[in-house]
Amino acid sequence: MDVHIPRDLEEKVRVDTVAREKEYAQELQREGRWLHLWRIVGQYSNISIFDVESADELHELLWGLPLFPYMDITIMPLTRHGSAIT
Ligand SMILES: O=C(O)CC1=CCC(=O)O1
């Protein structure tokens, strides 16, 4: 996920949106659907791993991100590797 918050976005709106994004992300982590959330060093971007049942569920989850309007998101579906030991 690459975040591009407009520079002219009102500061109060930016702060509120980022706070709601954190709440949303932490709730999904508590639910076990947002498995990993890592910051890409030096960028306003993250790498995330989600555990969902369908593309529809992932779409709804991402669409609901408060920062979604300001994001470029690249999706790479993953499945279990035959050599994985965990
Ligand atoms: O900061 C980001 O990468 C966007 C984001 C995802 C979850 C969150 O709290 O912020």
The band of 26, judged by pLDDT with boundaries at 50, 70 and 90, is: very high
What is the C-alpha separation between 85 and 64, in angstroms, rounded?
34
Mutation probe of ligand 1 site: the residue of 46, 62, 71 with most atoms within 8 A of C-beta: 46
Which residues' Cβ are closer than 6 Å to ligand 1?
1, 3, 21-22, 25, 37, 46, 67
CATH 3.30.70.1060 fits 2-72, yes or no: yes
Instruction: List, in sequence order, the alpha helices (H) in 3-54.
Output: 11-30
Please tell me the distance between residue 85's alpha carbon and the centre of ligand 1 in angstroms: 30
In a 3-state reduction of DSSP, which class is residue 18?
A: helix
Please tell me the distance between residue 21's alpha carbon and the centre of ligand 1 in angstroms: 6
Burial status of residue 37 (CB atoms within 10 A of its CB: 0-12, 13-18, 19 or more): middle
pTM of the full predicted structure?
A: 0.95
Domain ranges of the chain: 2-72
Q: What is the pLDDT of residues 27-52, one digit of tens each?
A: 999 999 999 999 999 999 999 999 99
Alpha carbon separation from 12 to 16, 32, 79, 81 (Å, rounded):
6, 30, 40, 45
What residues have CB less than 8 Å from 72, skipping those under 6 apart?
1, 2, 4
